[in-house]
Structure 1
């Protein structure tokens, strides 16, 4: 049983983290949208960042409304919020993987013809890849929609003879349909992210060793070191979030009801740090942040 003081503290931390994520996401979208209005163009990385900003904004609002409403009183509109959360979460995973793949293709030292072709084409493909990520995320939400529909029928037919049949269907779909498909939907973009980051880090390490061998200038070495450190942090944060969401889907390791708010604080703490690192990774956003501050 979690102490009441820790529960209250976790709720406060969760609310603060949510507000930070919402403000950061709103700032990212506003700055990059203004950039698009002024210059009529966005770089591929900025396209991904503005999509991530929208995704994180929707994710956090859906999380707050769902947690403070559904946790006490389930209703049809709040099941819709859970679908919005699932869609935003899946879209964020794909966008993070797309960002890692973009940097990998553009910055890695691989000279294979396929990589050379991708390096030439990837900038033009980014808008279509973002749209494709959204469509794939929509498909992965279908199991959640089926599950929510069964849950609504169970609530509507409470104390009905048909209720036990629906409950049995719900348990079967949870075990053999909903959870496996949701984990596969998360694992595919995460594996893409993992491969991209590992290839990029290996390429940067190789380049860094070559720079050491040929006594390259200190400023270049420092820039390379900063890039490696940033990639490592990006890798740790994204992997941590994937593992946290995976554990919450499995849901058999800990008592989710007792530790609900503590788990939410940990989950969105990782998102908050990840969102901050993404905000500081864009020169346009860093410049806007310096002006505002």
Structure 2
């Protein structure tokens, strides 16, 4: 089992390193050429992902090399609060980005959509600030979750294969999961609604256009649907993996695998953003060509 943990830890370090480099590149490029409101959301999301991936690397060091730290309630509370804060921030910033694309691309005539479409650029800062505040508010209760109930089950033999569940009481583990779901489900729901509205707008547009499949506006719709569908799949994978990490499981393999897979969606989506965005792709090619 020790060899297995070392292998998964090495894979996690590799994924996190590549993800940090990709997201750092997005932040650096957007900072150098700051033009559109979506660049601000992307930069905040990329920064949040960099912090999350670095935190996952650090957490894995503790998990593999210093499992005895999880006997300390204060340490567990700190770890839980940081995990919730970074996860919820990623969820809300991701949802903010999707809502921005949905409002800018869809053609609904409802007053609320018209208001958002005309004000969305100026409201971006408030959306980002609200995302951060909601994430902090939903993470603060983690300070009071950790207890001493599970310490009596932590023995020297268990230290070799420690998991979060072995050093926490059942009440504490269920509270972790409930808090994660309560903080993560609302942005996931809004995310899904944004995609449904975008697909419905595309369908209405196709019906009005008839056979005009060469329309630039239609191509924008198709591109947005493809991008957001991929985004949704990666988002759901991330949500499931993080839920497994917070669930009351005593299986070290599940926690290691879920940690490894949870680092993949931020990496893949950041890579997709770079490839599908002309400014980022051109800048990346310049870096590789040494220009």
TM-score (norm 1): 0.80
1:265 aligned residue: 260
Q: Deviations along 1:204-248, whole A, 9 cap, x unmatched?
A: 23324544x233437776555443322221221112212222233
**Equivalent in the alignment of 2:44:** 51
- How far off its partner does 1:283 sit? 3.3
Distance across 1 between alignment mates of 2:6 and 2:150: 32
Number of the residue aligned with 1:217: 214
Counterpart for residue 32 of structure 1: 30
Alignment of 1:281-292 (within 5 A): 281-292=276-287
Confirm or deny: 8 A CA contact 1:59 1:89 kept in the other structure. yes
Alignment of 1:235-250 (within 5 A): 235-250=232-247
| The 10-residue stretch of structure 1 (189-198 or 12-21) with the greater mean CA deviation from structure 2 | 12-21
More moved, 214-223 vs 186-195: 214-223
Shift of residue 81, structure 1, vs aligned partner: 4.8
2:212 aligns to what SS in structure 1? coil
1:1-293 aligned within 5 A: 4=3, 9-36=7-34, 42-73=35-66, 74=69, 80-148=78-146, 150=147, 171-175=170-174, 177-211=175-209, 213-217=210-214, 224-252=221-249, 255-293=250-288
Gapped regions of structure 2 (runs ≥ 5): 156-165
**Distance in structure 2 (CA, Å) of the matches to 1:85 and 1:239:** 17
Aligned residue for 2:253, secondary structure, equals coil
**d(CA) in 2 for partners of 1:171, 1:114:** 45
Q: How far does residue 79 in structure 1 lie from its aligned partner after superposition?
A: 5.5
1:111, distance to aligned residue in structure 2 (A): 0.7
Q: Measure, in 2, the Cα distance between the counterparts of 1:106 and 1:259.
A: 40
Counterparts of 1:187 and 1:43, CA distance in 2: 29
Cα distance, 1:275–1:257 mapped onto 2, change above 3 Å: same
8 A contact 1:97–1:192 mirrored in 2? yes
Shift in CA distance, 80/33, structure 1 to aligned 2, threshold 3 Å: farther
**How has the CA–CA distance of structure 1 residues 189 and 85 changed in structure 2, closer, same or farther, with 3 Å as cutoff?**
same
Structure 2 vs 1, CA of residues 115 and 223 (structure 1 numbering), >3 Å: closer, same or farther? closer
Inter-partner Cα distance in structure 2 for 1:130 and 1:275:
19
Secondary structure (helix, strand or coil) at the match of 1:95 reads: helix
Gaps of 5+ in 1: 37-41, 160-166
Residue 197 (structure 1) shift? 1.1
Partner deviation per Cα, 1:226-281 (whole Å, 9 max, x = no partner)? 433222212211122122222332344xx531333322222212232122223334
Q: TM-score, normalised by structure 2?
A: 0.80
Instruction: Classify 1:43/1:81 alpha carbon distance in 2 versus 1 (closer, same or farther; 3 Å).
Output: farther
Alpha-carbon contact 1:234-1:274 (below 8 Å) kept: yes
Q: What is the CA–CA distance in structure 1 between the aligned matches of 2:129 and 2:98, rounded to whole Å?
A: 17
SS of 2:48's equivalent in the other structure is helix
Q: Hey, what's the Cα distance between the residues in 2 that align with 1:9 and 1:170?
A: 29
Question: Between Structure 1 and Structure 2, how many residues are aligned?
Answer: 271
Does structure 2 conserve the Cα–Cα contact (< 8 Å) formed by 1:201 and 1:231?
no
Q: 1:144 to 1:290 in 2, by over 3 A?
A: same
CA RMSD of aligned residues (A): 3.1
